[in-house]
Structure 1
Amino acid sequence: MKVIYEDNHILVVNKEPGEIVQGDKTGDQPLSESLKIWLKEKYSKPGNVFLGVVHRLDRPVGGLVIFAKTSKALTRLNDMLRDGKIHKTYLAVTRNIPPATSGELHHYIRSDARTNKSYASSSPKAGAKEAKLRYRHVSSSDRYHLLEIDLLTGRKHQIRVQLASMGCPIRGDLKYGDKRSNPDGSISLMSWKLDFVHPVSGEHIILKAPVPDDQLWKGLAQGL
């Protein structure tokens, strides 16, 4: 397990693209269950292990995910997430360069469960929820561009659909307009940094995940 942080109350893991955080209709074993098995073996725990899912990442996305090891931490983390007190920063590789070096995107997003896809509009629509993010252009190669993204709201597929609406679909994201898939089935989006106050101790915690170990990511990330 690629554990980035662990104490008595929380566990932060660097999820691999392709893993699911919580069980879904595929029936594949989710990361939450794998972690329960790991914790049970690591600490020789009798009976069931408690592990609460605080937030999720899309299956093709990698990076940091927070889990709660106690019910007290889960309740407080859920409240913090709802109140915008867990600050999440992502990195995305796009094929097109954004129109400005930095900016804020503001849309209204509606999700369609039937197609498992979200749709963004610039004006309010029935059933749509407000979505905001800030982006910064970090660096470019000959063909690709790295963006740093501060997520201000948490909507389904938000970063993917908002960047696509800006004309910058994420590399490998066929669902939202890229032309080619990545060889491993991932999309070039990762949950890179978490900034929050520990729900029990009150300690200020900042965590970062290592960028994927490939030439493109390593080259672009030199600008961070």
Structure 2
Amino acid sequence: MHSFPQHLLDGYANFMSGRYTRERDRYRELASAGQKPTTLMIACCDSRAAPEMIFDSGPGELFVLRNVANLVPPYQPDGGQHGTSAAIEFAVKALNIANIVVMGHGRCGGIHAALNPDKTPLDDGDFIGKWLSMLGDLPDQVVANSLMTATERQTAMERISIRNSIGNLRSFPYVAALEAEGKIALHGAWFDISAGELWIMDQNGDFVRPSI
């Protein structure tokens, strides 16, 4: 007997009879030759915004890093446990990634928590609060804008956070060096869950709808 969720087993059965059957050779090639993705996707762990689905990616095409609110911390080689930084290091230094995309999304729970900090954290460890603290005073600056509605502040903070994470990516010396050499490109994206709209960040930091 086991208590493994049945809906996951059903999904696996569908995967094996569907996608795996269609792409069996690709999976076998990846198993023997290793992965060679060209894009690191830094996205939120929100179950509604899966990069592989949004970008219709096949196996081995995206190296996906997901965390609360798709945040990138600044470069801090201080001996601590840095899961996000470790994934960035591996993607850039070992996989020779050509593109890094920081993708946020609408109605992000992490960003909502940053704008509306709970005086009573979910747990004594308050890992979420500590994680979101890397945004510094940016949430306070957005909240202080009384001309925007709560929904407008939410969207603004989601996009400001993306720009902030891209700035933090440039604090990684090897990322900054590769970008200066034209060997790596940094991108921002924002996905609207409700409308299915993708917005991408242009050279000025503005978010625009791409022509597809």
TM range (shorter): under 0.3
- Give the TM-score, by structure 1 length: 0.25
- Give the TM-score, by structure 2 length: 0.26
* Structure having the larger proportion of residues in helix: 2
* Structure having the larger proportion of residues in strand: 1
